[in-house]
Structure formats: C-alpha cells, structure tokens
Amino acid sequence: MTDVDVKLTGRLPRRVEQALAPHASAMYARPGSRWVALVEVEVHERTETTETNADGEPERMHTVRLRVTDLEIATGDAAEHVREALRALWARRTSSGTLDGAELFAEADTAVRLLPALLADDQ
C-alpha cells in the first residue's frame, strides 16, 4: 500500500476531558511543557481519493482519521515509567535490521511487559 496520512479528529469523550481536567490549570500555566500519557485511539474513518500528481498521473491518496477514546496523564514516578516504556516502544519499532536489533528488541519487550507492575508499585 502507498503512504497513508494520519490525522486526529473529533471531540474528546467526556472521560478524557475528566482525565485532563485536574491537569488543565498546570498545562495552561506552562506553555510548551510536555506531559506523558497513556492513550487509546480508534480508527474513526478512512478515505481513498485519486489526485493528479506533478507528472499529471493519477495517484491514490489514503487517509486514516483517528479519534482519542481514552487517556490518562501519568504523574510522579509513573510519568518516568511511562517515558521509559515510550522509549522502549520506540526501540522496538526502530531496532529491526540493526546490528544489536535482537538485543534491543528483547530489552524493550521486557521494559514494556514490566510497566503494569511498575505503575502498580507507585500507588
């Protein structure tokens, strides 16, 4: 398949707004700040159109629109654990074909599997 454009769309569900509400004031007060969260998205819509490319040839364009269905902001120690999991998922995704890819993948897999236990310990 050709490249697919990905777009976020739609209003946030009430439960997501409620999850963001306790952090909204701090977010507003700190422009440019970064917050880590666990997010679930739903494939809301997919489209395929045909457009003319620069050579005058028809070209199919694909777009998938995602909607945020659930979200929780990580705070305190949990935020660092989620960041570590984010880095581990990135390593899993990008390690294929590298000299130490298998080792990186295994380390990342372990880090991701340990996340629920680490978050439970933070309570």
Written as tens digits, the pLDDT of the chain (123 aa) is: 568 999 999 899 999 999 999 999 999 999 999 999 999 999 999 999 888 888 888 888 899 999 999 999 999 988 988 888 888 888 777 877 666 667 776 777 777 777 777 677 655
Alpha-carbon span 71 to 51, nearest angstrom: 36
Cα(38)–Cα(41) distance, rounded to whole angstroms? Answer: 10
What is the Cα–Cα distance from 75 to 82, expressed in whole angstroms? 9
Tell me which amino acid residue 8 is: L
Per-residue pLDDT tens over the stretch 51-60: 888 888 888 8
Is the pTM above the cut of 0.85? no
String of DSSP letters for 17-47: HHHHHHHHHHHHHSTT----EEEEEEEEEEE
- From residue 5, give the alpha-carbon distance in Å to each of 42, 44, 47, 56: 15, 14, 10, 21
